[in-house]
């Protein structure tokens, strides 16, 4: 079987990020809070359901597309992998650009569908990330910064560890999906959970309501977290020079 071309890798990253935004942010917009008309019963999936939805998008995306592009779907993962010498720096810009584009298309599709409901107002209703007055729980800038740095670092470490050749084979995608689910369970009340600049960008401008002005934090913090993970994982765990690159494994979700 021939190796994927650059175009195929970029297409896979765009599609995977699109799926992450559509599945994760879409579940928050459409299904997190649904009230029954007859008796007012809450039928929505809530924070737990949204957390699971984000985890499922990554899990399914990695198994479907990981053998093509490595299944990053996140600029922080791409940068962390490059810092850990598991991905070539020359390919980072292309991956980041298509991740952002794929995410924006996902956000636009959510908006298009949401506008099909009478009375929908996009402002403040597009699952944007935020801090202070725009944090679901009212958490400050510093709390948001610390949460996003730490949780992104852990997420990237999980990815690097799960795709290490010494890790159990065939379950990397499960570990990565569950890690993202847990991260959302922790941090939806804090920032609505980013750990992914492409996910944040995907809905910020459609959401308005202060989200574009706070977008900087959801680029800076995940990239700092990725920096820490990309340096610490090989330094502490001595992954060795023979580790596969995250876009060249036959399937990082299946064969690690």
Q: What is the pLDDT of residue 244?
A: 53
CA separation for the pair 20, 159 (Å, rounded): 16
Q: Which domains does the chain have, with CATH numbers?
A: 6-237 (1.20.1080.10)
pLDDT tens-digit profile, the chain (256 residues) = 689 999 999 999 999 999 999 999 999 999 999 887 777 788 899 999 999 999 999 999 999 999 999 999 999 999 999 999 999 999 999 999 999 999 999 999 999 999 999 999 999 999 999 999 999 999 999 999 999 999 999 999 999 999 998 999 889 999 999 999 999 999 999 999 999 999 999 999 999 999 999 999 999 999 999 999 999 999 999 655 445 556 544 344 433 2
Q: What is the pLDDT of residue 89?
A: 97
Q: What is the pLDDT of residue 255?
A: 30
Q: What is the pLDDT of residue 24?
A: 98
Q: Write down the residue that tokens 């569908």 correspond to.
A: 113
Q: What is the pLDDT of residue 251?
A: 45
Q: What is the pTM of this model?
A: 0.92
């Amino acid at each position: 079987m021939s190796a994927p071309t650059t175009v195929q890798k970029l297409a896979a990253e765009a599609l995977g990020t699109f799926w992450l935004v559509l599945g994760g942010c879409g579940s928050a917009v459409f299904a997190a809070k649904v009230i029954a008309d007859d008796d007012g019963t809450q039928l929505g999936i809530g924070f737990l359901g949204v957390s699971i939805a984000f985890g499922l998008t990554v899990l399914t995306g990695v198994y479907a597309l990981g053998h093509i592009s490595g299944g990053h779907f996140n600029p922080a993962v791409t940068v962390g992998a490059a810092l850990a010498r598991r991905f070539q720096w020359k390919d980072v810009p292309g991956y980041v650009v298509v991740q952002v584009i794929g995410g924006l298309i996902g956000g636009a599709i959510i908006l298009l569908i949401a506008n099909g409901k009478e009375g929908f107002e996009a402002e403040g209703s597009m699952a944007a990330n935020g801090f202070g007055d725009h944090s679901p729980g009212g958490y400050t800038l510093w709390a948001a910064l610390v949460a996003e740095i730490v949780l992104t670092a852990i997420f990237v470490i999980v990815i690097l560890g799960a795709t290490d050749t010494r890790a159990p084979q065939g379950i990397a995608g499960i570990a990565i999906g569950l890690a993202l689910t847990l991260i959302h369970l922790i941090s939806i009340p804090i920032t609505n959970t980013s750990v992914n600049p492409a996910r944040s960008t995907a809905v910020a401008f459609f959401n308005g309501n202060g989200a574009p002005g706070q977008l900087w934090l959801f680029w800076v913090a995940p990239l700092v977290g990725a920096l820490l993970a990309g340096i610490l994982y090989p330094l502490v765990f001595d992954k060795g020079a023979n580790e596969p690159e995250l876009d060249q494994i036959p399937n990082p979700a299946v064969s690690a």
